[in-house]
Amino acid sequence: MAEELGQQALLSIISHLFFIAISFYGLQALHFDKLLRKNRVFQARLLYILLTIALGTTISNFFLDYLNWARQLTLLF
């Protein structure tokens, strides 16, 4: 039981980091500098980091929920 929880925790950490990296890569295609005020470099970088974490975590949670539901389907039969 404890080993399974450890494996699930490791999978969750890896999934979150992977999807945060993917979202960081994907957000680089957008030009945020056109939307932000001039001389607000720190706020722009902070917004970029927060958007990356929020998007990556949301996608990772969806993936992990889907994986968990797929595992639980075997209990149906």
- List pLDDT tens digits, range 16-61: 999 999 999 999 988 877 777 888 888 888 999 999 999 999 999 9
Minimal CA–CA distance to 30: which of 13, 43, 15, 44?
Answer: 44
Q: What pTM does this model have?
A: 0.84
pLDDT digits (tens, 9 = 90+) for 49-77: 999 999 999 999 999 999 999 999 988 87
**Domain total of the chain:** 1
Angstrom distance (rounded) from CA 34 to CA 8: 41
SS3 of residue 32 by DSSP? helix
pLDDT higher than 80, residue 11: yes
CA dihedral angle for residue 41, residue 46, residue 47, residue 51, rounded to 10 degrees: 140
Residue 61 structure tokens: 């949670």
- Domain of 62? 2-76
- What is the CA 13 to chain-centroid distance, rounded? 10
